[in-house]
Structure 1
């Protein structure tokens, strides 16, 4: 019985976190900007840009939430995973690019939980969902 309880709530963690983050980014970008570790090092405050990324996070949360309600909706997670994976690739490449900081190990470690882990989780959901469809 406990295992079933785990299965019923774990799938909501990522959409809730992405949704909350996206909402704060859209509603209070000036508060979000200094509150998230490492964001200030990525460049000057740009409220429009932060709201754009917040909107993308909300869209990802919607796709993941749709999947959480109906596990057959792998396409909704696929779209979320595309953004999350592309965002992670930017964070993977940028620390090594000339003039972009020069602290790759620290930057990658800092970004793991907030950038790379959501991309990995969404990609695994898609991969697992596609494997189920093949079976």
Structure 2
């Protein structure tokens, strides 16, 4: 369970720190050079990108807290918050792949499936236990 929480925290801190600290670079270069997923959905809005970064970092703090102190109720609430943000985000992007090269469309979709899958798996696992070890 903790490994799943750490994985989700890592994905959020990468996105959050990059978007908050270098919004134009995040917009033009996420997730990697030559694969500008965010820029494929224009227009650029510095305020929006920084807000997304800050919210991703807030989720990071919550996920790290749950990983460090995996009390059942806390972990369930944190995972529900994570999934509340991630599922609609994944659905939006899955429905807006026009113009994406096939490799990027597949990679983005796989990334979201992995994030949501890990979140759901950890939620199911922690829901079945009183205390996460």
Contact conserved, 1:29 with 1:50, CA < 8 A, in 2? yes
Aligned to 1:130: 127
CA distance 1:57–1:69, shift in 2 (3 Å): same
Equivalent runs, 1:1-135 vs 2, <5 Å: 11-36=5-30, 37=35, 38-72=37-71, 73-74=74-75, 75-95=77-97, 101=98, 106=103, 108-133=105-130
Contact conserved, 1:59 with 1:80, CA < 8 A, in 2? no
How does the TM-score come out when normalised to structure 1? 0.74
Larger Rg: 1
CA distance in 2, matches of 1:71, 1:78: 14
How does the TM-score come out when normalised to structure 2? 0.75
Report how far residue 56 of structure 1 moved.
Answer: 2.1
Number of residues paired by the alignment? 122
Greater relative CO (CA pairs within 8 A, separation 6+): 2
Say which structure is richer in helix: 1
